[in-house]
C-alpha cells in the first residue's frame, strides 16, 4: 500500500485489522523482523515549506533525503545532526527518506556538539493506530505548548504512528572544516584525549578513534568547523594542547568531509560478514567495556565516535555481545533475521520503564497495527 495523502493513509488505517510493516525508502532494516503488509510512505512526498532566514524546513515524511539536502545545499545550509546513511553498513539499496531518519532518530558524529535528530525536531504530523490525524509541536524554534510528543515520535521506529510530515530546524554550513589527527594512541589514551578536546573551549564537532585507520594504524580524529581564520586558530590550539603526541592537521575540506563520512557511515564494517552492535555509554567507560567484550567474545573491528560515547563493534554472526550489567544501551544493528529473532535488538528496559512504554503503545496504537514487536526485547 502506498497512500499519497494523509487522508488516504487515515482511511487505510481506520479500515485495517492486520498489522503493517511501515516503510520509507527501506534502507534501514533494523529491529525485530516484522510480519505485516508493507505500508510505504514514499507517496507522501515534497517539501512543504523552507525558510532559510528562519532556519526552518517542513517536509512530508516520504520526501527523499537527497531532495532535502539539495534544497538545503542551494541555500548553503544543512541538517546539523549529520544523519548516517545505513546503506553501506546494512547492504541495502533504495533511497533514504526524511521520515525514516526521524523514525530512527538517526544522527551522526556531530551529535556530541550540535545534538541528535530529536534535538532539531520542531513538529510532527502523524496518523495514529485508530486512523486519527494528529499534530504536535509546530514550525517555530521554541515551543513548550502541551506535551512534547515530537520527541516521543522521533526514534519510535514507526511503532506509535505513521509520520506524515516533519518540521525541523536546520543550520548554515560552516565556511570550512579541519581535522586534527593524533596518531598511535591506545583506546584508553584516545578517549582521554577526546575528553580533553571536548572539554576545551575550541568547539570540537566530531571526536572519533579507531585502532586501525585507513593505513592500519591507530588514529584519533578531532573535527573543527567554522570561519577559516577561526578554524585555523582552533586547530593550532588543539595541536598545542596535545603536543606530547604525534599530531597533524588536515585542512583540505574535501578530505575532512570524506574522513567524517567514513566515521558516520561506519565504513570499516561495510561488506564484512560479522554482526554489528552499537553501544551508547558514558565515554570514560568505553575502553574498559571494549576490553571486557574482547575477553569474552570474538571482536573483529571497533570504531569509537562521540568522544568514546558511541562504539561500533563487529563480532561473529549470532554472538550476544550485550553484557547483563551494561550502564548504557546496546543495539544490534546488523544481523541475520534469525539472530534478530533470537536476541533482543534494543536494550531491554527496566520493569518500570517497560510498563510505561507498553501503556503508551496501547494508547497510540491500540490494535497493534504498526511495526508490532519491532522494538520489543
Partner 1 sequence: MQMPTPNPQILAKKARIVERLRAVLPRDSVIEDEAETRAYECDALTAYKCPPLAAVLPSSTKEVSDVLRICWEEGVPVVPRGSGTSLAGGALPTADCVILGVARMNDVLETDYDNRVIRVQTGRTNLSVTGAVEEEDFFYAPDPSSQLACAIAGNIAMNSGGAHCLKYGVTTNNLLGVTMVQMDGTVVEIGGAHLDSGGLDLLGLICGSEGQLGVVTEATLRILRKPEGARPVLMGFDDNEVAGACVADIIKAGVLPVAIEFMDRPCIEATEAFAKAGYPMCEALLIVEVEGSDAEIDEQLALILEIARRHNPVELREAKDADEAGRIWLGRKSAFGAMGQINDYMCLDGTIPVSELPYVLKRIGEMSKEYGLGVGNVFHAGDGNMHPLILFDANKPGDLELCEAFGADILRLCVEVGGCLTGEHGVGIEKRDLMIDQFAPEDLEIQMATKDVFDPQWLLNPAKVFPLESSQSRRATAMAAE
202, three cell numbers: 575550541
Q: Residue 14, interface with partner 1 (CB under 8 A)?
A: no
| Least spacing, CB of residue 347 vs partner 1, in Å | 5
Closer to partner 1 by CB, 40 or 202: give it. Answer: 202
Q: Residue 148, interface with partner 1 (CB under 8 A)?
A: yes
Residues 275, 252: Cα–Cα separation, whole Å:
34
Q: Residue 220, interface with partner 1 (CB under 8 A)?
A: no
Q: How many amino acids of this chain bind partner 1 (CB under 8 A)?
A: 83
Backbone φ, ψ for residue 320 (5° rounding): -90, 100
Q: Residue 364, interface with partner 1 (CB under 8 A)?
A: yes
Q: Residue 227, interface with partner 1 (CB under 8 A)?
A: yes
| Least spacing, CB of residue 120 vs partner 1, in Å | 9
| Least spacing, CB of residue 276 vs partner 1, in Å | 15
| Least spacing, CB of residue 31 vs partner 1, in Å | 10
| Least spacing, CB of residue 183 vs partner 1, in Å | 22
Q: Residue 128, interface with partner 1 (CB under 8 A)?
A: yes
Closer to partner 1 by CB, 173 or 245: give it. Answer: 173
Q: Name which position in 79, 116, 178, 290 contacts partner 1 (CB under 8 A).
A: 116
Q: Which region among 20-28, 37-45, 51-59, 317-325 touches partner 1 (by CB under 8 A)?
A: 51-59
Q: Which region among 104-112, 241-249, 263-271, 293-301 touches partner 1 (by CB under 8 A)?
A: 104-112
Q: Residue 216, interface with partner 1 (CB under 8 A)?
A: no
Q: Residue 350, interface with partner 1 (CB under 8 A)?
A: yes
Closer to partner 1 by CB, 42 or 369: give it. Answer: 369
Q: Which region among 36-44, 128-136, 251-259, 296-304 touches partner 1 (by CB under 8 A)?
A: 128-136
Q: Residue 74, interface with partner 1 (CB under 8 A)?
A: no
Footprint on residues 280-299 left by partner 1 (CB under 8 A): 280-284
Q: Residue 323, interface with partner 1 (CB under 8 A)?
A: no
Residues 282, 198: Cα–Cα separation, whole Å:
14
Question: Which residues, listed in sequence order, are joined to residue 370 by a DSSP beta bridge?
Answer: 20
| Least spacing, CB of residue 360 vs partner 1, in Å | 5
**In the 3-class helix/strand/coil scheme, how is the chain assigned residue by residue?**
CCCCCHHHHHHHHHCCCCCEEEECCCCCCCCCCCCCEEEECCCCCCEEEEEHHHCEEEEECCCEHHHHHHHHHHCCEECCCCCCCCHHHHCCCCCCEHHHHHHCCCCCHHHHCCCCHHHHEEEEEEECCCCCEEEEECCCCCCCCCCCHHHHHCCCCCCCCEEEEEEEECEECCCEEEEEEEECCCHHHHHHHHHHHHCCCCCEEEEEEECCCCCCCCEEEEEEEECHHHHHHHHHHHHHHCCCCEEEEECCHHHHHHHHHHHHCCHHHCCCCCEEEEEEECHHHHHHHHHHHHHHCCEEEEEEEHHHCEEEEEECCCCCCCCCCCCEEEEEEECCHHHHHHCCCCCCCCHHHHHHHHHHHHHHCCCCCECCCCCCC
Footprint on residues 170-189 left by partner 1 (CB under 8 A): 171-175
Residues 117, 162: Cα–Cα separation, whole Å:
17
Residues 164, 282: Cα–Cα separation, whole Å:
34
Closer to partner 1 by CB, 90 or 94: give it. Answer: 90
Closer to partner 1 by CB, 215 or 325: give it. Answer: 325
| Least spacing, CB of residue 142 vs partner 1, in Å | 4
Q: Residue 325, interface with partner 1 (CB under 8 A)?
A: no
| Least spacing, CB of residue 127 vs partner 1, in Å | 11
Amino acid at each position: 500500500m502506498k497512500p499519497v495523502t494523509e487522508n488516504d493513509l487515515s482511511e487505510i488505517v481506520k479500515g485495517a485489522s492486520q498489522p503493517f510493516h511501515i516503510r520509507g525508502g527501506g534502507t534501514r532494516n533494523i529491529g525485530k523482523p516484522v510480519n505485516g503488509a508493507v505500508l510505504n510512505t514514499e507517496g507522501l512526498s515534497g517539501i512543504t515549506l523552507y525558510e532559510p532566514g528562519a532556519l526552518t524546513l517542513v517536509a512530508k515524511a516520504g520526501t527523499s533525503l537527497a531532495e532535502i539536502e539539495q534544497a538545503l545545499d542551494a541555500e548553503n545550509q544543512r541538517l546539523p545532526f549529520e544523519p548516517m546513511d545505513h546503506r553501506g553498513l546494512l547492504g541495502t539499496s533504495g533511497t533514504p527518506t526524511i521520515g525514516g531518519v526521524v523514525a530512527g532518530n538517526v544522527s551522526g558524529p556531530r551529535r556530541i556538539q550540535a545534538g541528535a535528530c530529536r534535538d532539531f525536531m520542531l513538529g510532527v504530523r502523524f496518523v495514529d493506530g485508530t486512523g486519527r490525524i494528529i499534530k504536535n509541536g509546530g514550525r517555530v524554534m521554541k515551543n513548550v505548548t502541551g506535551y512534547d510528543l515530537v520527541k516521543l515520535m522521533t526514534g519510535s521506529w514507526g511503532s506509535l504512528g505513521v509520520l506524515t510530515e516533519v518540521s525541523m530546524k536546520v543550520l548554515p554550513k560552516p565556511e570550512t572544516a579541519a581535522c586534527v589527527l593524533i596518531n598511535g594512541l591506545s583506546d584508553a589514551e584516545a578517549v582521554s584525549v577526546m575528553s580533553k578536546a571536548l572539554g576545551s573551549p575550541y568547539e570540537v564537532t566530531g571526536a572519533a578513534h579507531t585502532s586501525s585507520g585507513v593505513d592500519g594504524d591507530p588514529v584519533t580524529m578531532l573535527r573543527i568547523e567554522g570561519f577559516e581564520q577561526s578554524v585555523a586558530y582552533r586547530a593550532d590550539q588543539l595541536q598545542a594542547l596535545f603536543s606530547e603526541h604525534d599530531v597533524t592537521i588536515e585542512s583540505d575540506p574535501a578530505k575532512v568531509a570524506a574522513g567524517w563520512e567514513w566515521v558516520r557511515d561506519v565504513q570499516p564494517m561495510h561488506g564484512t560478514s560479522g554482526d554489528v552492535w552499537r553501544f551508547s555509554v558514558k565515554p570514560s567507560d568505553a575502553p574498559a567495556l571494549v576490553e571486557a567484550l574482547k575477553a569474552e567474545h570474538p571482536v573483529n573491528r571497533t570504531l569509537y565516535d562521540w568522544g568514546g560515547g558511541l562504539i561500533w563493534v563487529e563480532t561473529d554472526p549470532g554472538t550476544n555481545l550485550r553484557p547483563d550489567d551494561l550502564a548504557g544501551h546496546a543495539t544490534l544493528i546488523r544481523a541475520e533475521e534469525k539472530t534478530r529473532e533470537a536476541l533482543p535488538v534494543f536494550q531491554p528496559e527496566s520493569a518500570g520503564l517497560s510498563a510505561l512504554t507498553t501503556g503508551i503503545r496501547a494508547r497510540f496504537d491500540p490494535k497493534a497495527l504498526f511495526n508490532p514487536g519491532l522494538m520489543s526485547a
